[in-house]
Structure 1
Amino acid sequence: MIIKNSRKLGNTDLRCDALRIAEAGYEALELKKLFQNDCIGYENTVCFRDNEFDLTHYKKIYIVGMGKGSASATQQLLTILPKRKVKGGVVIDITKKRLGKIKSYIGTHPLPSEKNILATSKAIEVLKQTTKDDLVITIICGGGSSLFCQPGKNTTCLDLQIVGDHLLKSGAKIQEMNTVRKHLSYIHGGNLAKYAYPATIVSLIISDVPGNDLEMIASGPTVMDTTSVHDAQKIATQYDLGNLNFVETPKDLKYFTKVHNIVLASGWTAIAAMREKAIELGYKPVVYSKALTGYASKVGPNLARAIKPGEALLACGETQVNVTHPGKGGRNQDVALSALPHLPKGSVIISAASDGKDNIPVAGAITDSAYTGHEIKQQHVDPTEAVALNQSYTTLEKVRGIFTIKRHITANVSDFIVLLSRKP
């Protein structure tokens, strides 16, 4: 089981069913399974999804990985590549792995640090030595924007930290955050492709962005950027970021003609598996959204109002939280707790972070109309007020509402949600 405390949380049949469906979502995101299913190697050929690459066309292979889970993904990738051709590379993750010729670095997340910048500079050194006869395979995972970073002209690491922290706490959308990041960077917004030019690039992407916008996943290091300095400045003004030293991203098409961007997994990967499990358990699956956005405190009630008897309402995406008080919690905990007062009788909701970290070291939350509703009333707690005070964890931890998972084995594809209503 990936969810560690399922037995403790599954104290009703309905909660057990919801946990089984969430477990199916997590199982579909196991990195080892993803690479075994979608990345196949032969003597001189590799296939990524439906994309085949003849390795005899390349003299050397380099690997550059970034984001949460990229080190584990690189381990799996190395099992299908010919060792004689892999000459080196750099991976930056929150965990370190033994990767042979590939240098593995530990970085910080969600805010960048000098450690991240140093590791990224090592990756740039590798990219700059490639030629037109080489193949660069990049593994791009969620969290790559912070872990893989190189400040632009007249921008410091402290600047990136302050801007990132301010946007996180202000509830900025991921598209807004990454537009700003791209224009404060010499690695995002297509800059990796520029450094590697004229080598061939294959980017294996695990998407944590609602809608799978390639420009926004890890701030699009291998994708031509369609945003501008003007766009970044508008967002900076909206969020009172002051005067920032924005730089333009590469706009020359030549840097991208030999780039192949391939999405291996996304929130839909989890939704598809959860849908199958819901059918197996006798529920009618309904996909509410594959690109869920909005404030967590509003999303929870909206989901609760949408459920009908016998349904399994499924969604994936990334909500926002406006941090106004020094409480403890995360967006998934807020979704589950804010939904509670609006849940119909005989219903349950689970909101889960796919990588197992919902701001703090917990994966997410579960609430239901029967058990949680009763326990919350006994403690005289107002769920809506607890969310407003950023105290979702403190509230849910007392009522069997928090769950954890085995970390660092699943892909980071943002969040997924399952809401069940008892069968009629």
Structure 2
Amino acid sequence: MTASVDLALLRSDAHSPSYFALRRGAAGDDLVDFCIPCNPYFPTTAMFDDLRANLVDVLKYYPSDAETITKELCATLDLNPSTIAMGNGSTELITWLDHLLVRESLAVPVPTFGRWTDQPLETGKRCDMFPLLESQRFRLDVESYIRFIRERGSRVAVICNPNNPDGGYLPRHEVVRMLDRLTDLDLIVVDESFIEFVDAEPSASVADEAVIRPNVVVLKSLGKNFGLHGVRFGYLVANPQIAGLVRRVLPKWNLNSFAEVVVFMLKAHMNEYRHSLRLVAHDREMMIRQLASLTGLTVFPSQGNFVLCKLPEGRDGRELRDYLIREHGVYIRECGNKLGFNSRFLRLVVRPHADVQRLLAGMYAYLCAEEEPPRRGRRRAPEIEPAPIYRLPGSVA
């Protein structure tokens, strides 16, 4: 189905337009989002029904203070409240870490999540950018990164694990080795916003290390893995001194009523949540395999809920993005405005099989066109054997 979207919204060098902005400019509701990395299987339909039933109260009344909500989250996730600070999204916590704990300089591998470079630069800090190389599949080499930090004299080091936008994952023992080697720094931040999607090893997080170290913070996003970006909630894990410092500067009511309702629902739905992560991991494996079947497309390994791809020479991601959204109602993330990339790179969110088939049909038509991207239906994509689909009862696809 052809979607009528104001493509001028996409012509900016800034962050991708919101889903709401695109929908306001669209003629229909048939837009499939491969841009925003959100868990498609959680919350379940039953949970959304409960949220709808509470909508009036959620909108009319103040939430509890952050301490109350944090204690409930800690009880559900088996965390120590003294080591936790909850924020209105992980971006709020990145802002406060920069203001409170980054004094001179910050080292960060690029490409990565843009706020880790933009935030310190906005406050006048020196940002030492360590290039991740395409020839090494954007893999972070710990020894090279440590050597870079020493040569530059960086006082703070950041890694995102898995990294956004490529999904590259550094094994836990490698992260711990880096923490051991950088005990003299002011701060080390391990951004684990996508760690819940990792299936490469059973215990991927280093949050347990952060609580016993003097200079380590682990950042967690809840919106991504719980499938609720709009709620805006996340948290950091650190030793009680650092966590307490951040808690004291946060506004008392920095969390909204939706966040409170969701946090208090979680305990009863943790089995569904864990199963949703297994479904995403299964879909990721199949999606990587199917994307790799497209001629000329380079697909990079990922442990996130998204997959990085590179178009062949002579193809442009902006052109493909506009074509897909116009002719197939598919919205993708073109990465030309990310440091370390060009417009041939795409980040594609992991979605259920039926949505992926729609994406593949559009990408096949574009990649197989000899001159201009074809109109819908000009070429037919090859038949791809459907992957076995496992669905959570009551889940939203």
Q: TM-score, normalised by structure 2?
A: 0.37
Report the structure, 1 or 2, having the larger helix content: 2
Q: Which has the higher contact order (CA 8 A, sep 6+)?
A: 2
Comparing both structures, which one devotes a greater share of its residues to strand?
1
